[in-house]
Structure 1
């Protein structure tokens, strides 16, 4: 059947909905379908059936409960205040998902990318094999790729999908060969530059009995901007909307009318509370960000969008181009939440019934630590921890209090300052590069440094495993020549979006480097040029400075294109080695205090 009649049929259902609501007909869906078409079971096969879709995103190999603010979700209370709820940990997530599936004959589990990459040491040290094993046990059916699936390149991603031992490190467990994913990875908009074909499957059709739902998986078109050049070498990333619409047509030609898009791109809700209702009219209601334009342009053939990348929680109705209601969801990150969505499947049309009363709104469910631990996940964690323990438990240094990083809402993060200081100290010696300052991308800070270990004592010890969790990429450090003008341009590239747009990526800077951000202004004018100073002296646009940064930034990552114009590059130690060397100089008697985060003055 062509796409046009399909859209007309859906439009007629919506017209009836409006009439039924005007007449006060509460049982609109039942009235719109023939007798006996009510959803549910029964001896006779009903026309519609409810399919449960459980979804999550941005898991990032977080098998153990995440520390600090990364291990909580914000819950909106009846009085308008918010409350932090401890959440996350795959032992609890497995129990939560298994409990949610009870009583549901039709249930599919889907994800929207970044299942691996930027992972804590328990998974990252073993190239994320433990996470793939855990996701298999969780019952994941399908996921799109995200940008972090490319952290180690396309060959390693294919190994995650198809199995085999690591080409360098070999097999991690004696007598065992890594089997790969039992779920389907989708990469519809990622093509091989030589063959022009998708590097992995573009679509997946989930079937149970006579119910069929098609999934299309894409990552953000801007993946090359947020991954090292080596990670995306030989690949091309296409437009999300064009790709989804193309494969929606192909699924329709195969007789699949019910379609879900898994998109590793997201939005920013007006509230950070997981239970915030972004569909309630009023001040501050709604959602912004890249996913809004994507949702407004994805073909009406697609019935729901599961999204990610921004690590936010939302379940918003963004109407499709035909004006039909369509849900767009995201479940925060690190396995702290999952979304429970009911898809009402019409056996006659083979399509999802998308009307305001056809099914309940998606529900965000907290992976509470009140759930019992799943025994199989506990065994998995213990097994891999035993392999990691000799290195992971090694003390690296001491801190005197929590050092906020990933969870900090401020543009300047204490942990970002500490990391930049560590890089400057390691690379300042003349024979190490002669760095005069260091800059660090905020996305590379993957966790907080918690004074009290998760479930343990509060002794301020920072272990190798904890340091690895903060800096998991092992990016090599570069020391390069940049002019003062180029440095100022880099600062301006942080804030070239509109004043009320998505949060800009603010570079973290080493001690002695200071400047002012005036957020009351627009674009590049937000950087007060006269305020940019190094050790008290104004930056000279014509002078050359030696700047330390990781290889991701040196390659122009995160949109800092001016940084690619550097000269006289010297490659140094890894970012993790620099970080640990800095930690090693502390002691129980002289721990590192959280930096004051007073290098960037923000005017609001």
Structure 2
């Protein structure tokens, strides 16, 4: 789509026209230029978060740690996160500047632990409202339950099938922005595209977007009836509209990100030159955004960075991200010039701050968390299995994850009989593993006990298992797609059941990294002409995460939910005296 077509779609949008009318009104209300004795500039503070994913309680294991350095330069893990602690930190930070706004870049909900997911993430939205969140872009996980549910989450109302969870109607967040998501029938944005905030005499425009590739990382049902536009063209189009209405201070909130060269949370991304320490999609996006855009708050990759990426005019512009799960927030300071009605670009600074747990939890947010803990406690605290040590999933750093092995084995066990699918192997996407199983527990259940709530945090999407027919040639293609297409820059290794083995040759590139004659099933070489029964979740069965060949399977049999298969496997294969061992990483070999 050309720039002209993109702007044309926005001009046809009632949201765009309404936004333009509001912006025109803002111009008439804008503060006059500073006169004698009046300060010309206004100090502005923006506090940014991203990828909370409904983590109201402090995240467990590696998911709840931030990496920093001690006095000797050695890496140290600092426990961080928890919504009530985050609220306190944000309140303390905003108290230092009366001209403060709290913003976010999406994935605040979806992929959430049971405490939030059991109530369709309403508790998380209520907690964010209590924190004072002003505006947020949508992320891909905001679409997990479809656009109708996202609208309810944003605007309020009882759940269509489960009703209200108490006598107080759910009020909605009313902070989500979705400039680059159109409804295909109407060509209108599914949610407002922009927000204009007046604070302390300053007028600031926010453009909210998710990644254009959202359909590749969300189930087909979640994005049905929606069209996702290019991030750069969309932001540049709305920046033009904002400027036409007199709004010069512009911030983009975009749910796309990059990867820094170091996992230390305050790593100097610009040490070897502006933006030299950052790679990934956000770099090209930032380079293409109009110079009128002053700041880019990013997300999606769950990383921590504050980087300088030059805009198309060669001017330095900050791009930030604050990790995930509420472990960090970004403290952004800027000077607003009342005469130009714009930020002084050179004045914008940012730093990521750790949400430590040594502060007093915010009482309002703590009360929200406690309320829903009481409601879900009997289910969440039920033991479902026992482990002999930490089994890493989300926090693992190896292509093959110990918890990925366990999940794949659980899915194979659930679908291997003739009546349940006749599966011969199972495949699991790494991105669907949302937490670790942690041995040492602070709760009453004791070390090594896995509760239903902890298991749900690992598998929170309620995906159905699907068993399908694939030829050996198709399976080889699936393995090769780990290194091609959208996965080429950062391979997303499939987690595989114990009876599948293959070798990766990392000296090669693309599909050739899969050593074709190394692939075995039950010890026998892969037969390219044979047909195999394979179990995946319904997200992968639709070609999710770039595994497009998986969408071509035949004779599907839809089975139970992945969380049910997982908990059943844990219960069947572990006891207090014989806990589930940490599996060895021996299914994928590397040359």
TM-score, normalised to structure 1's length?
0.90
Q: Is residue 65 of structure 2 the alignment partner of residue 68 of structure 1?
A: no
- Kindly state the Cα deviation for residue 519 of structure 1 after the two structures are TM-superposed: 1.4
- How many angstroms apart in 2 are the aligned matches of 1:108 and 1:384? 28
Which of 328, 344, 366 aligns to 1:337? It is: 328
Counterpart of 1:595?
583
- How many angstroms apart in 2 are the aligned matches of 1:283 and 1:414? 37
Q: Is residue 214 of structure 2 the alignment partner of residue 214 of structure 1?
A: no
The question of whether the paired residues in 2 share the 8 Å contact of 1:76 and 1:275 is answered with no
- How many angstroms apart in 2 are the aligned matches of 1:285 and 1:300? 20
The question of whether the paired residues in 2 share the 8 Å contact of 1:498 and 1:523 is answered with no
**Structure 1 residues 91, 498: CA separation in 2 closer, same or farther (over 3 Å shift)?**
closer
- Kindly state the Cα deviation for residue 594 of structure 1 after the two structures are TM-superposed: 1.4
Alpha-carbon displacement from aligned partner over 1:38-61 (angstroms, at most 9, x marks no partner): xxxx99431111100100100000
Counterpart of 1:535?
522
- How many angstroms apart in 2 are the aligned matches of 1:242 and 1:79? 46
- Kindly state the Cα deviation for residue 457 of structure 1 after the two structures are TM-superposed: 6.1
Q: Is residue 295 of structure 2 the alignment partner of residue 304 of structure 1?
A: yes
- Kindly state the Cα deviation for residue 449 of structure 1 after the two structures are TM-superposed: 0.5
Q: Is residue 552 of structure 2 the alignment partner of residue 565 of structure 1?
A: yes
Counterpart of 1:492?
480
Alpha-carbon displacement from aligned partner over 1:16-71 (angstroms, at most 9, x marks no partner): xxxxxxxxxxxxxxxxxxxx98xxxx994311111001001000000000011000
The question of whether the paired residues in 1 share the 8 Å contact of 2:463 and 2:539 is answered with yes
The question of whether the paired residues in 2 share the 8 Å contact of 1:288 and 1:502 is answered with no
Alpha-carbon displacement from aligned partner over 1:450-485 (angstroms, at most 9, x marks no partner): 112245564211111111111000001100000001
Alpha-carbon displacement from aligned partner over 1:346-404 (angstroms, at most 9, x marks no partner): 1000011112xx34x31110000111111122211111011101211111111111110
Q: Is residue 354 of structure 2 the alignment partner of residue 366 of structure 1?
A: yes
**Structure 1 residues 144, 454: CA separation in 2 closer, same or farther (over 3 Å shift)?**
farther
The question of whether the paired residues in 1 share the 8 Å contact of 2:439 and 2:449 is answered with yes
Aligned residue for 1:207, secondary structure, equals strand
- How many angstroms apart in 2 are the aligned matches of 1:297 and 1:455? 49
- How many angstroms apart in 1 are the aligned matches of 2:266 and 2:199? 31
Q: Is residue 359 of structure 2 the alignment partner of residue 381 of structure 1?
A: no
- Kindly state the Cα deviation for residue 109 of structure 1 after the two structures are TM-superposed: 0.7
Which of 466, 475, 492 aligns to 1:505? It is: 492
Counterpart of 2:177?
186
**Structure 1 residues 282, 263: CA separation in 2 closer, same or farther (over 3 Å shift)?**
closer
- Kindly state the Cα deviation for residue 520 of structure 1 after the two structures are TM-superposed: 1.6
Alpha-carbon displacement from aligned partner over 1:498-544 (angstroms, at most 9, x marks no partner): 99x74311000001100011112110111111111011111001000
Q: Is residue 233 of structure 2 the alignment partner of residue 233 of structure 1?
A: no
- Kindly state the Cα deviation for residue 170 of structure 1 after the two structures are TM-superposed: 1.3
- How many angstroms apart in 2 are the aligned matches of 1:215 and 1:329? 15
Superposed, 1:203-282 pairs within 5 Å as 203-281=194-272
- Kindly state the Cα deviation for residue 150 of structure 1 after the two structures are TM-superposed: 0.3
- Kindly state the Cα deviation for residue 80 of structure 1 after the two structures are TM-superposed: 3.6
Counterpart of 1:4?
none
The question of whether the paired residues in 1 share the 8 Å contact of 2:98 and 2:200 is answered with no
- How many angstroms apart in 2 are the aligned matches of 1:283 and 1:321? 14
The question of whether the paired residues in 2 share the 8 Å contact of 1:498 and 1:522 is answered with no
The question of whether the paired residues in 2 share the 8 Å contact of 1:339 and 1:365 is answered with yes
Aligned residue for 2:517, secondary structure, equals strand
**Structure 1 residues 152, 284: CA separation in 2 closer, same or farther (over 3 Å shift)?**
closer
Which of 428, 445, 448 aligns to 2:436? It is: 448
- Kindly state the Cα deviation for residue 587 of structure 1 after the two structures are TM-superposed: 1.2
Counterpart of 1:26?
none
The question of whether the paired residues in 2 share the 8 Å contact of 1:75 and 1:83 is answered with yes
Alpha-carbon displacement from aligned partner over 1:54-97 (angstroms, at most 9, x marks no partner): 00100000000001100001113454421111100011101101
The question of whether the paired residues in 2 share the 8 Å contact of 1:118 and 1:473 is answered with yes
- Kindly state the Cα deviation for residue 98 of structure 1 after the two structures are TM-superposed: 0.6
Counterpart of 2:13?
none
- How many angstroms apart in 2 are the aligned matches of 1:506 and 1:531? 16
- How many angstroms apart in 1 are the aligned matches of 2:154 and 2:541? 30
The question of whether the paired residues in 1 share the 8 Å contact of 2:99 and 2:200 is answered with no
Counterpart of 1:13?
none
- Kindly state the Cα deviation for residue 208 of structure 1 after the two structures are TM-superposed: 2.0
Aligned residue for 1:584, secondary structure, equals helix
- Kindly state the Cα deviation for residue 266 of structure 1 after the two structures are TM-superposed: 0.2
TM-score, normalised to structure 2's length?
0.92
Answer with 588-597 or 319-328: which moved more: 588-597
Counterpart of 1:422?
410
Aligned residue for 1:228, secondary structure, equals coil
Superposed, 1:544-555 pairs within 5 Å as 544-555=531-542
**Structure 1 residues 498, 280: CA separation in 2 closer, same or farther (over 3 Å shift)?**
farther
Which of 66, 85, 89 aligns to 1:96? It is: 89
- How many angstroms apart in 2 are the aligned matches of 1:240 and 1:283? 22
Alpha-carbon displacement from aligned partner over 1:282-331 (angstroms, at most 9, x marks no partner): 79951000000000000001000000000000000001000111000000
- Kindly state the Cα deviation for residue 244 of structure 1 after the two structures are TM-superposed: 0.2
Counterpart of 1:23?
none
Q: Is residue 388 of structure 2 the alignment partner of residue 396 of structure 1?
A: no
- How many angstroms apart in 2 are the aligned matches of 1:283 and 1:81? 25
Counterpart of 2:25?
none
Q: Is residue 576 of structure 2 the alignment partner of residue 583 of structure 1?
A: no
Superposed, 1:22-41 pairs within 5 Å as none
Counterpart of 2:106?
113
Aligned residue for 2:284, secondary structure, equals helix
The question of whether the paired residues in 2 share the 8 Å contact of 1:113 and 1:144 is answered with yes
Aligned residue for 1:311, secondary structure, equals coil
Counterpart of 2:501?
514
- How many angstroms apart in 2 are the aligned matches of 1:449 and 1:439? 20
Aligned residue for 1:199, secondary structure, equals coil
Alpha-carbon displacement from aligned partner over 1:421-474 (angstroms, at most 9, x marks no partner): 000001000000000000000000000001122455642111111111110000
The question of whether the paired residues in 2 share the 8 Å contact of 1:315 and 1:330 is answered with yes
**Structure 1 residues 269, 497: CA separation in 2 closer, same or farther (over 3 Å shift)?**
farther
Aligned residue for 2:533, secondary structure, equals strand
Alpha-carbon displacement from aligned partner over 1:527-582 (angstroms, at most 9, x marks no partner): 11111101111100100000000000000000111011100000000101100110
- How many angstroms apart in 1 are the aligned matches of 2:358 and 2:512? 49
